[in-house]
Amino acid sequence: MALEATFRSMLVRLQRLNDDLLVLRLTLGDKPPGSESALVDQLENTVLDMTGLLQEALDSSREALSATGRPVDLDRAWRALTACQDCFQRIAHQFSADLISYEKLKDLATLGSQRGGEWFPWANSTKAGIEQCRHPLEEVSNALVGCWQELAERPGMMSVSVQATNIGQQIAGTPERNEFDIEGVP
């Protein structure tokens, strides 16, 4: 696949993830009125953090895509892709640790069943929204790999040339004389 098309594909996948996070954020914000929950606050904060990181990743992705246009600036593309990858890694970590972990999903199910009423369908919708983000995350991960592969295939991008030369130093010292040495006497 062409370099620019690969980077464009990554941007599209990041935008899809952004859309799914937005839907999850709306679902979380649509919690039943009347009572608060520390779990809901934690989930909302996590999604908000992920959304902020995703905006950084989108900006970096746009920068990388721009660098693949004419004229191609591989160094700029590499730097922007690195920034995008860093943000994505943090998003993926937050997702696995703070959203889709067994403990969080169990706590969410418990919250829905204990509070009953409107909380039960809300908890199920929230769980579905969290699970819906899994596939776009995998797609972004695969798109990033594709971008790195495209960059690696570009000649001169990451080449390092090492030349060994056989230049040595010759160090010659003068013998030290001690105070008892007499000139001409060995």
The structural domains of the chain, ordered by start, are 3-153 (1.20.120)
Residue 38: both structure tokens together: 């520390």
Contact by Cβ (8 Å): 51, 87:
no
**Rg of the chain (C-alpha set):** 29
C-alpha 175/C-alpha 183 separation (Å) is 13
pTM, full prediction: 0.78
The CA-based angle 112-114-119, given to 5 degrees, is: 30
> What pLDDT is attached to residue 170?
55
> What pLDDT is attached to residue 185?
52
- Is 101's pLDDT higher than 50? yes
> What pLDDT is attached to residue 160?
43
pLDDT above 90 covers what percent of the chain?
70
- Is 93's pLDDT higher than 90? yes
- Is 22's pLDDT higher than 60? yes
- Is 158's pLDDT higher than 60? no
Place of tokens 């010659």: 172
pLDDT in tens, 38-61: 999 999 999 999 999 999 999 999
pLDDT in tens, 131-154: 999 999 999 999 999 999 999 888
- Is 174's pLDDT higher than 90? no
> What pLDDT is attached to residue 127?
96
Maximum separation of any 2 CA atoms in the chain, in Å? 112
C-alpha 88/C-alpha 57 separation (Å) is 7
Confidence bin at 120 (pLDDT 50/70/90): very high
